[in-house]
Structure formats: structure tokens, C-alpha cells
Amino acid sequence: MAYLYPVFAADDVAPPYVATVQQALTAARLAPVVSSGYRAYLADMVRDNPAFQGFPMAAEQTWVLVIGRVE
């Protein structure tokens, strides 16, 4: 069983502390994948498909870490 550790930055340019999160996960021997522009991506996906199930972000939220199992 494997796990995914995506880090979604809300804006196109992630704040510097998102790199710190990535470094911490890497130091823990995890393999994070960082993507930026998630807020716009989520808005586009929900506009095109209202049933889309993404990870909602609060207005002031700048990033989200998702931990998911892959079978």
C-alpha cells in the first residue's frame, strides 16, 4: 500500500512556508508533490462540474496538505 502527500497551494505563487512544508515532509522520507494555483483550479472544476469533489479552502487559507492511500 502506498500513500500520496499532495500539497496544494491556493495561489499561483506559493508562500515561502509551503517550501518549508515540502522540506519537512521530504526530511520525514515522504514524497510530497506540490502544486500551485489550486484555488483557481477548484473554481474552474466546480464551475464545469458542480458535482466535483475537491478540497474546499477558506478565503484566508493558503495551502492544504492531503494524505491519501493508493491501492
pTM of the model: 0.87
The span from the CA of 1 to the CA of 52, in Å, is 26
Give the span between the Cα atoms of 7 and 20, in whole angstroms. Answer: 11
Query: Is the predicted pLDDT of residue 1 greater than 80, yes or no?
Result: no
Q: Report the distance separating Cα 25 and Cα 17, nearest Å.
A: 12
At 16-60, the pLDDT tens digits run 999 999 999 999 999 999 999 999 999 999 999 999 999 999 999
